[in-house]
Structure 1
Amino acid sequence: MSLTEMMLTVLEESGLLPLWQAVSPWLALDERQLIFVIATPVFIAVAAFEYVKIRHNLKLMDTREAIRNFTLGAGYQATELLFAGIIAFPVYALCYRYRLLELELNWFTGILTFLGVDFCFYWMHRASHRIRWFWAAHVVHHSSERMNFSTAMRQNATNIFNGGWAFYLPLALLGFNPVWIGIAYALSLVYQFFVHTTLVGQLPEWAEHIFNTPSHHRVHHGRNPEYIDRNYGGTLIIWDRLFGTFTAEDAEIPVEYGITRPAPSNNLFVLWTHEYVDLFRDMARPGRLASRMNHLWKPPEWERPTPIASGTRHARTTPEPERSE
């Protein structure tokens, strides 16, 4: 039996073959992509409203950058559409085939799916800042020095190849249908679009305590030392409060947006790839293979010792992190 036949057998036995055929890019959109397609006109309308409000403030809005951000978002959507169904979905189907529980969709399991996806998003997002391989894809989202709705669209076309989707596989193994996972994930991303703005101040205290809000997410995009590595939550901020990564926005510390070492160019290809180039350049430096491989999973600011002529070793000075959390 070939690998393709084996995959199709697994999909058929798990009851997910029709869905895989539906998400195949040559046939149709899956539910997750359909949600994004439906939401896109709303995103454009809201972004246009915001643009009218802040277009004269260059600290908040740059027309060329806004267009670039939507172009980056289109590239991200294109690769997701073309490759998610043939890269990620078969793995989800395999996990779901060997699921531990039989779960029927109802209000209770629907809420559990939402909480599970949001919990997994927290750890995926945290890893995207603290593990360099994942940061190489995520950095483009943080490389803008402005915070507006177009920034939410500033995504990397390499995301599907980067493997962040694997953080949600335990949910399929537990028994949550991959369709539910995909829908919950898409709705979370729709929600997160609306936290990328400076037009909304503090929400009521109860909302600020439970949900990820524009105030919390402004902190997340800050490169200030006080704000780096904070507020990873997707829809909920409770995970940051539980795991010690929460910081409230301080009116006395204005947020400085962006990354500590800006991207070398605004060329789309450079924005997508510059951190991969730096990563593999660091890995190519002389040294033991195990030490060189550490660059993949160590934090973005980590540097390994460099050999010197005398045969001894010394650590290079650690630069500022190449990212903003």
Structure 2
Amino acid sequence: MESLFEPVVSGMTALFGREPTLNEMILIPMIPVFVSAFLIEWLYTAIKSGDSSLSQGKSFWWREVFANFSLGAGYYVSGALMNLLFVAALFTVVWDNRFYTMPINLGTVILAFFVQELCYYWYHRTAHRVRWFWTQHVSHHTGEIMNMSTAARQSILNGFVGTWMFYVPAVLIGFTPELMLGLLGANLAFQWFVHTESVPKLHPWIERWINTPSNHRVHHGRNKQYVDKNYGGVIMLYDHLFGTYEPEQEQVIYGTPRQIKSHNWFVLNLHEFVDMFRDAMAPGPISERLKHFWKPPAWQREGHEPIHTWTVERHEEVPVK
């Protein structure tokens, strides 16, 4: 089995200048599978609608898909660079100072799955409720259509804003960084297939406990009842435990409460980050200005009009929190 993967490992080592992480070993070889699944979805949708151009969105549809894949390419490259520069070294330091060492067996791998899901849940929830982390996650939610390419709509800011910190506790208590990153890679690979409208609601038991396409459509909605719901990666357990589960009922309207109107790669990656700093630098008491970094994305301080460097569309039906 080791010899089977040796050419892949060797090739990725040559590409990165280091051995790939288990996360990269899962996600990068899956790229052809992801693209193939998207093409099958596109063909299925085109046949079903009788329109190969998918003209319900006209050229907008293709601009969205191109933006999705270009953001995904930036995410892969920036992730590899961040691992090379500091993330891998940081996890090595954390591992060297762990409190305990978990043995690797079937039971601990199952436990690690639920621990990783908990870490992911709190990262994901924080990324919606704390503006610093929202600057990294917002690009994923600015898509106004839903298909598998939307899963590629990721940010170059992941490592920079510190999304890795949500997995530090798991490593400190004794789960290896490789195991945690591998499970995260599997989590993200699974999520590619829930970004679709081609799959209807499934059996109620599955909908209740698994992150299905229906559950994830809700997560991408800007409808009032859908905002900040369904954070789970593979399972919905923690959404039920922490009160953030919402089933799909009315048709989902995709996007964000303040929808950026752009397909520019730099704008999609950086618009919220730029606006956050511009808001924080605007005149006012320093104690209030600093709140722009940790308050929810839609928070407004008294006497200050939020700055939008690029065009946004405000959706009044979504509550400002």
TM-score by length of 1: 0.85
The structure 2 residue matched to 1:281, chosen from 278, 282, 287, is 278
Seen in structure 2, the aligned counterparts of structure 1 residues 78 and 115 have a Cα distance that, compared at 3 Å, is: same
Query: What is the correspondence of 1:16-95 to structure 2 with a 5 Å cutoff?
Result: 25-55=16-46, 56=51, 57-59=54-56, 62-95=61-94
1:108 positional shift? 0.8
2:74 maps to a residue whose letter is G
In the alignment, is the contact (CA less than 8 A) between 2:63 and 2:263 conserved in 1? no
1:141 corresponds to: 140
In the alignment, is the contact (CA less than 8 A) between 1:215 and 1:249 conserved in 2? yes
Separation in structure 2 between the aligned mates of residue 29 and residue 150 of structure 1, nearest angstrom: 24
1:28 positional shift? 3.6
1:321 positional shift? 9.7
Kindly tell me the number of residue pairs found equivalent between the two proteins: 292
1:215 corresponds to: 214
Cα deviation 1:118-138 (Å, max 9, x = unaligned): 111000000000000111111
Deviates more, 1:240-249 or 1:55-64: 55-64
Seen in structure 2, the aligned counterparts of structure 1 residues 122 and 156 have a Cα distance that, compared at 3 Å, is: same
Separation in structure 2 between the aligned mates of residue 197 and residue 51 of structure 1, nearest angstrom: 10
Cα deviation 1:235-277 (Å, max 9, x = unaligned): 1101101100010000xx2100011222142110011011111
2:96 maps to a residue whose letter is R
Seen in structure 2, the aligned counterparts of structure 1 residues 230 and 33 have a Cα distance that, compared at 3 Å, is: same
Seen in structure 2, the aligned counterparts of structure 1 residues 320 and 117 have a Cα distance that, compared at 3 Å, is: farther
Q: Please, which runs of 5 or more residues in structure 1 have no aligned partner?
A: 1-21, 308-317
Seen in structure 2, the aligned counterparts of structure 1 residues 299 and 159 have a Cα distance that, compared at 3 Å, is: same
1:260 corresponds to: 257
1:292 corresponds to: 289
Separation in structure 2 between the aligned mates of residue 234 and residue 207 of structure 1, nearest angstrom: 14
In the alignment, is the contact (CA less than 8 A) between 1:228 and 1:324 conserved in 2? no
Q: Sequence identity of aligned pairs in percent? A: 40
Deviates more, 1:227-236 or 1:100-109: 100-109
1:101 positional shift? 1.5
| Alpha-carbon RMSD | 2.3
In the alignment, is the contact (CA less than 8 A) between 1:202 and 1:215 conserved in 2? yes
Seen in structure 2, the aligned counterparts of structure 1 residues 324 and 64 have a Cα distance that, compared at 3 Å, is: farther
2:182 corresponds to: 183
Separation in structure 2 between the aligned mates of residue 82 and residue 223 of structure 1, nearest angstrom: 33
